[in-house]
């Protein structure tokens, strides 16, 4: 009887000690929503082109899948949709202090695919705390408006690398369902292609394309549903 009791205590202690929310083979699914707040820049490739600076604020929505590759590590892939409103810091290129405010803005719609990793500093059965990097690819397009009215059918398309670092945690109400909070910095280094129509020297309406570079980056805060299997 004594041996049975000691064995039961040992098994219970081993189970409790090894009860972790991330283990090798654990699958995590997160569905999140949140916001981005930061800055953006835009500059044409033509020599002497000015660099325009804007504030960037917007909403982000996405889903992330992580697979536990070890007790303290997981890796995965995520998809994300976002909308960022870019408000120029200065519309007058000769006056850095001139603020055109919210009357003039550009809305950028983004789609991102990210690869990410997590290292779990805390890894308990019902909660964890993690940090890790991410890298991926972004495509985007924009439209410009004044006082909420779109002023042109011309469009700029963007594509390029995104990168970031995240800190967050999961709290589980059961063996499967919980919530996640994620805070981090994310940046995108993009090429831009602005396509528009204008009349040439022969008074014929033709299409032109200006190429350039753009960046969008800032603090991103997201929260949502956490599932593990």
Cα diameter, the chain: 102
Q: State the pLDDT at residue 98.
A: 46
Q: Using CA atoms, how far apart are residues 79 and 61, in angstroms rounded to an integer? A: 9
Q: State the pLDDT at residue 46.
A: 81
Give the tens place of pLDDT for each residue, 163-203. Answer: 999 999 999 999 999 999 999 999 999 999 988 777 777 77
At the top level of CATH, the class of 2-228 is mainly beta
Tokens 């995108």 -> residue: 188
- Which residues touch 98 (CB under 8 Å, ≥6 apart)? 90, 91, 92
- Whole-model pTM: value is 0.79
Q: Please give the C-alpha separations between residue 11 and each of 17, 25, 144, in angstroms, as whole numbers.
A: 10, 22, 64
Percent of all residues in the chain with a pLDDT value above 70, rounded to a whole number: 81
Q: State the pLDDT at residue 223.
A: 98
pLDDT (tens, 9 = 90+) of the chain, 229 residues, equals 445 434 433 433 444 445 799 999 999 999 999 999 999 999 988 877 888 899 999 999 999 999 999 999 999 999 999 999 988 876 554 545 444 444 567 889 999 999 999 999 999 999 999 999 999 999 999 877 655 555 566 678 999 999 999 999 999 999 999 999 999 999 999 999 988 777 777 777 778 788 999 999 999 999 999 999 9
Q: State the pLDDT at residue 222.
A: 98
DSSP track, 20-54: -SS-TT-EEEEEEEEEEEEEEEEEESSTTPPEEEE
């Amino acid at each position: 009887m004594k041996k049975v009791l000691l064995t039961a205590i040992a098994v219970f202690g081993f189970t409790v000690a090894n009860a972790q929310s991330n283990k090798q083979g654990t699958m995590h699914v997160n569905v999140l929503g949140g916001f981005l707040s930061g800055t953006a820049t835009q500059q044409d490739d033509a020599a002497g082109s000015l660099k325009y600076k804007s504030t960037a604020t917007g909403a982000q929505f996405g889903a992330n899948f992580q697979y536990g590759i070890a007790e303290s590590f997981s890796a995965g892939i995520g998809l994300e949709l976002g909308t960022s409103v870019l408000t120029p810091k200065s519309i007058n290129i000769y006056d850095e202090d001139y603020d055109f405010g919210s009357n003039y803005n550009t809305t950028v719609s983004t789609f991102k695919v990210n690869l990410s990793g997590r290292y779990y500093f805390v890894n308990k059965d019902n909660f964890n705390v993690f940090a890790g990097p991410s890298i991926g690819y972004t495509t985007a397009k924009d439209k410009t408006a004044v006082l909420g009215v779109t002023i042109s059918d011309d469009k700029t398309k963007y594509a390029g690398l995104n990168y970031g670092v995240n800190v967050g945690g999961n709290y589980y109400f059961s063996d499967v369902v919980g919530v996640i909070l994620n805070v981090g910095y994310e940046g995108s280094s993009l090429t831009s292609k602005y396509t528009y129509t204008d009349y040439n020297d022969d008074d014929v309406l033709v299409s032109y394309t200006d190429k350039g570079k753009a960046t969008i980056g800032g603090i991103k805060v997201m929260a949502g549903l956490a599932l593990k299997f």
